[in-house]
Amino acid sequence: MSTTFQLDTATSRANPTPAPMKRLTVPKIRAHKQDGKVEEPLVMLTAYTARQAQLLDEHCDMLLVGDSLAQVIYGLPSTIPVTLEMMANHAAAVVRGSYHAVVIVDMPFGSYEQSKEQAFESAAYLLKASGAAAVKLEGGEAMAETVAFLNQRGIPVMGHVGLTPQAVNVLGGYGARGRSDAEAKKIVGDAKALDKAGAFAIVIEGVVEPIAIEITENVAVPTIGIGASGRCDGQVLVAEDMLGMFERVPRFVKKYGDIAETISATAAQYASEVRSRAFPGDEQTYQPKK
């Protein structure tokens, strides 16, 4: 029996409650692809808070604590300023709020590129501080040695190729990658290198579709698409994009809701009732006992 946390609305505290389900594991995610095929695509969404994790967990195979929290949570212009401490704190909250999905945490820019040893120190800190099951890092062939180093030392790694947001200053923007033959060949080679190095899954982001299909057909591990192809072995989106929290989203996002409008309308109703003194009423105040 695993444990999740339910928010007690009377106290606003998170209290542990048993959940009759065992958490998925990294080996089970890896084994989802057999002989180059998956029976049912894997589902992954981002999560940054305990409550968000509670709501998403039962529907997902994996929850990604992405460094996209830079823009989504902190209003930063890119993922570059994100720190290890930020990632560890949010990942710990997501672990506390979930009981089913594998929790994966992004390694932020500057925490792993310098050396294999730096990567191990950073990854070990993230897993120990948060309780997450695995880390994700960006980069292909250049990071393959690091991926192997971490994997051999007990740290599962999810790879990430194609559009790599941490390299936005080198790439010059967030446009789709792989439009030239040379770049397409490099992205496919990057994915194969990560597969060989022992990554348990590979995110393919923002590439022209034939590249994603070629990678999916030529690596042994599951591929997770985001702006890639419906033929990937799974899909991931930033939850806030999918839920409709933002007016502008990348073209590969499908909005499944309009949470922003719901929040705005609810806040408007609250403001109106406060200003008219309709709130709080007797039901929301403490009256003397008779």
What tens digit of pLDDT does each residue of 195-220 get?
A: 999 999 999 999 999 999 999 999 99
Q: What is the pLDDT of residue 171?
A: 60
| pLDDT above 60 for 18 | no
Higher pLDDT among residues 94 and 22, named by residue? 94
Alpha-carbon 36 to chain mean position: 24
Q: Which of 24-28, 166-170, 211-215 is predicted with the least confidence, judged by mean pLDDT?
A: 166-170
Query: Dihedral of CA 250/217/159/167: which sign?
Result: negative
Domains and CATH numbers, the chain: 23-278 (3.20.20.60)
Q: Is position 58 annotated as part of the catalytic site?
A: no
- Separation between Cα atoms, residue 126 and residue 39, nearest integer Å: 32
Q: Per-residue pLDDT tens for 120-146?
A: 999 999 999 999 999 999 999 999 999
Any binding-site annotation on 138? yes
Whether this prediction's pTM lies above 0.85 is answered by yes
The pLDDT-based confidence of 257 (bands split at 50, 70, 90) is very high
Please answer whether residues 146 and 193 qualify as being in contact, where contact means their C-beta atoms are separated by less than 8 angstroms.
no
Structure tokens at 95: 């672990």
Please answer whether residues 193 and 144 qualify as being in contact, where contact means their C-beta atoms are separated by less than 8 angstroms.
yes
Please answer whether residues 239 and 56 qualify as being in contact, where contact means their C-beta atoms are separated by less than 8 angstroms.
yes
Catalytic residue among 141, 183, 205, 273: 205
| pLDDT above 70 for 222 | yes
Any binding-site annotation on 106? yes
Q: Which of 2-11, 41-50, 58-67, 273-282 is predicted with the least confidence, judged by mean pLDDT?
A: 2-11
Any binding-site annotation on 85? no
Q: What is the pLDDT of residue 283?
A: 93
| pLDDT above 60 for 225 | yes
| pLDDT above 50 for 2 | no
Mean pLDDT of 21-36: 94
Query: Dihedral of CA 29/101/1/123: which sign?
Result: positive
Mean pLDDT of 54-64: 97
Any binding-site annotation on 67? yes
| pLDDT above 90 for 182 | yes
* DSSP for the chain, written as a single string: -EEEEEEETTTTEEEEEEESSPPP-HHHHHTTEETTEESS-EEEEE--SHHHHHHHGGG-SEEEE-TTHHHHTT--SSSTT--HHHHHHHHHHHHHT-SSSEEEEEPPTTSSSS-HHHHHHHHHHHHHHH--SEEE--BSGGGHHHHHHHHHTT--EEEEEES-GGGHHHHTSSPPB--SHHHHHHHHHHHHHHHHHT-SEEEEESB-HHHHHHHHHH-SS-EEEESS-TTSSEEEE-HHHHHT--S---TT------HHHHHHHHHHHHHHHHHTT-SS-GGGSPPPP-
